[in-house]
Amino acid sequence: MTIEFKTPDEIEKQLRQVQVVAENVMRPESRVLDDSEHSRPLNFVHMMWPQMQEMERANLEASLRRARNGGNGESPKSEGPKSDEPKKPRTGNLALVHMIEMLSWGDAGVYLCIPGGGLGGAAIQAVGTPEQKERFLRRFTEGDPKWGAMAMTEPQAGSDTSNIQTTALFDDATNEWVLNGQKIFCTSGKLAYAESDGLIVVWATVDKHAGRAGMKPFVVEAGTPGLKIVKVEEKLGIRASDTVSFVLDNCRIPADNLLGESREKKDGETKGFKGAMRTFDATRPIVAASAIGIGRAAFEFARDTLAKQGVRMDYESPRWKLTTAQADLLDMEIQLRQAWLLTLKATSLLDSGGDNKLPASMCKVKAGKAVTVITQKAVELLGPLGYSTQTLAEKWMRDAKINDIYEGTGQINTLIVAREILGYTRKELK
């Protein structure tokens, strides 16, 4: 058996198209969109929407097919002759992380404005029933651009999700869930809120005394009375992307908008906290890929700028013969390659249906740290040119830090890695 590291041809073809967008649509608008925070990158949105519709359609059909065939995604068994040709592996998530790495190389804030299901769609894919996937995700394959988002963080509940205070009470008289509470730092929340077919997956508790066991995911559709944006954040980086705070004030949603196998009453079993973790297992490699795209942009710019001054990469000389700048460039590239290999491993496991919890957290930790170090080093090596707004180096440094924070901070993911490797429970190691 051989191990193949070559990127599949169909992904290579897609990447060439995405690179055109990154170079000719995203990079030219980077500085303008960073200076005018929350301006919607319309050229990018409309250019990417057809491709995102196709990806959303493929992911939805694959998910529904797996549900019909016992979760393995294979066609039903038939009595006909079997083909000797090897089965083609699924590469949907692999294609996605390659695309996101390239788009983040173009501009991470603009990439986050990409239309589609986003984190909300990932949560529905992770824990929704086939009927819910069809009902909620089909909208991202049709019509005009629209967005999905996920609202989990609260003022008193960041990494400590067991402290979520947003409540969900079931009203038997109307067969509805009633949500009350506040959510902060919701990425693309404004985009999801503004479009008629947008949706937000809100995590709330049906029992405050149950901790994580009481957490449940609810789909709140755009335009639902009682859902209101109260703040749009001004941020250090990814400034083209919107980040908002919501208030849910007696926000009523249908009973079957509770994601999971049983959604009729408050005592029905749903995939609560475990569902959230499954969502993160799918999205942490995506965050890592975005971090790597930013890091690659900074590394390549620093490398090429220094090369014009006569400082070139040297892969053959022993380290003690290298200049400090050459050694720094090598370290930057090593960090990128390590993070990328971990990301590919986590993504490949996800595509094959394997357990990717450990590698998902590992790649998130590594990429978050690597991009922070790489972008800071790029600014340092470039001197005044790196610190000024004459180039995008300082912007990449500002954009980088979020990748070490959202989708579980670097500290939280390090804890997850340690628990998985050492066999400790959450109570034993925290």
Cβ neighbourhood burial of 405 (10 Å; 0-12, 13-18, 19+): middle
What share of residues in the chain are helix, strand, coil (percent, to 5)?
55, 15, 30
**CB crowding 380-391: b at 16 or more within 10 Å, else e:** ebbeeebeeeeb
| Distance, CA of 124 to CA of 126 (rounded, Å) | 5
Q: In sequence order, what are the beta bridge partners of 217?
A: 203
DSSP string, 133-162: HHHHHGGGGSSS--BEEEE--BTTBSS-GG
18: which 2 tokens?
A: 């995405």
Q: Which of 281, 285, 286, 275 is nearest to 203 (CA)?
A: 275
From 394, 407, 420, 428, active-site residue:
407
Q: Is 8 left (phi over 0), alpha (psi -120 to 50) or beta?
A: beta
Chain-centre distance for alpha carbon 13:
23
**407 given a catalytic annotation:** yes
Helix H segments across 383-409? 384-387, 393-400
Q: Half-sphere exposure (CA, 13 Å, Cβ side) for 241?
A: 25
Strands 227-232 and 243-254: antiparallel
Return d(Cα 134, Cα 279) in angstroms, integer.
Answer: 18
Count of C-beta atoms within a 10 Å radius of residue 226: 15
Burial environment of residue 92 by CB neighbours within 10 A (0 to 12, 13 to 18, 19 or more): middle
CA 387/CA 380 separation, integer angstroms: 8
Three-state SS letters, 211-271: HHHHEEEEEEECCCCCEEEEEECCCCCCCCCCEEEEEEEEEEEEHHHECCCCCCCCCCCCC
Question: Tell me, what DSSP letter sits at residue 82?
Answer: P
- Cα separation, 84 vs 176, whole angstroms: 52
- Active centre residues (catalytic): 407
